[in-house]
Amino acid sequence: MDNTTEDKELEPLKTAVLSALQSDGSLDEIRAQLRAHVFRVCDNIDDNKHCVQHITRATDDHLFVDQLIAEYLRLNGYKHSLSVFANESGQQKQSKFDRSSAQHKLGLRLKDDNQSKQLPLLTAIVKNCLKKTPKK
């Protein structure tokens, strides 16, 4: 049998496996894990300055925004996206996110209840801005 015949015979199996992985969400998880591993490998290669260059030049404001994005992803359950983002942005190398300090820095006044604690600060910022914007 040549490769073309083998490929044609395996096509129904490939389709069935792909469909099963998509239906239970495993395919998205595998893709996210692969991206995270690629970034980890890239981050570990000393010769490759392209992957970590933006981290070393990041300002405090840039790092703060990265923390807000990471919090948004975490609180919304985007764990695969967070995994990739954390590796790509260097979040794992930074200090832990202090939500109350961030709230104070942003001048946000949120209730001290469970619902407010589950609201990402990025969402609170957007809501706050939308309140201030006149409706047309």
* pTM assigned to the model: 0.60
Residues with Cβ within 8 Å of 81's Cβ and at least 6 positions away in sequence, in order, are: 32, 73
pLDDT at 48: 47
- The CATH 1.20.960 portion of the chain extends over 59-135
Q: Residue 38 has what pLDDT?
A: 76
- CATH code for the part of the protein at 59-135: 1.20.960
> What does the alpha-carbon distance between residue 101 and residue 128 come to, in Å, rounded to a whole number?
18
Q: What number is the average pLDDT over the span 53-64? A: 70
Q: Give tens-digit pLDDT for 67-123.
A: 999 999 999 999 888 888 887 787 766 667 888 888 889 888 887 777 777 889 999
